[in-house]
Amino acid sequence: MDHELLISKFKSANTGISGSDEYLNCSVVALVLTDGTPQFLFEKRAEGTRQGGEISFPGGVIDTSIDKSPYDAALREVEEETGISPEMFSKLLPLDTIISPMGALVHPFAGFVQGVKEKDIVIDELEISEVFTIPLSFFIDKEPQIYHVKLTVNPSSADDDGRIIELLPSKKLNLPPMYHKPWGNMLHRVYYYKTDFGPIWGLTARIIFDFMKRIK
């Protein structure tokens, strides 16, 4: 491959997040009802579902068989979970992408809706037990509490019977001894807001924090 051809391969390439297709890609919408006092619309996940009882924004996994983009997935998930259709949005704008240490690539959006009130929401009762609103002003006046968890990389795991499963054969690969056992002690921030409806924490709290930085 000659010099110019080699360079052309990089000039024409779009940059992005390396290995993004290896993550669980999700879209989440920080949904704001803007009639009167602007309010975030939250969901409480139904018991028996993944993360049952937790408070979140509408959202879910991007289905590449029907979603052409994270934007399309965001619109679909909101309509499925709340009944708010795409034409009811005045704006749907991207926020910063979040790379979760748990293996998810999260595409958050700020969604602004006029003419819809909490009583108009039609929930998917298989996934959502209730919805409620909290004014944006609550979060303007309230900083999140910040905690930490420690993340460690483990080259092996144990099955249900206690048998060790070697995920990365560090010794066979002749990697340095430090990688023959768990390594890394990275502290990961966990954001937390205390509300009358229950704790809002983790990814949802992080999205709120990022949203509020834009308007403060």
157-205 pLDDT, tens digit each: 999 999 999 999 999 999 999 999 999 889 999 999 999 999 999 999 9
User: Which stretches within 62-189 are classed as H helix?
Assistant: 70-82, 136-140
Q: What is the Cα–Cα distance from 32 to 42, expressed in whole angstroms?
A: 9
Q: What is the Cα–Cα distance from 156 to 137, expressed in whole angstroms?
A: 47
Q: What is the Cα–Cα distance from 128 to 23, expressed in whole angstroms?
A: 25
Per-residue model confidence (pLDDT) at position 31: 96
CA angle centred on 207, ends 184 and 77, rounded to 5°: 110
Q: Measured on CA atoms in the order 195, 201, 204, 207, is the torsion positive or negative?
A: positive
Which parts of the chain register pLDDT below 70?
A: 13
Per-residue model confidence (pLDDT) at position 119: 84
Determine the topology of domain 20-215 in CATH. Answer: Nucleoside Triphosphate Pyrophosphohydrolase (3.90.79)
Q: What is the Cα–Cα distance from 156 to 163, expressed in whole angstroms?
A: 10
Q: What is the pTM of this model?
A: 0.91
Best CA proximity match to 179, nearest among 194, 189, 169, 191: 169
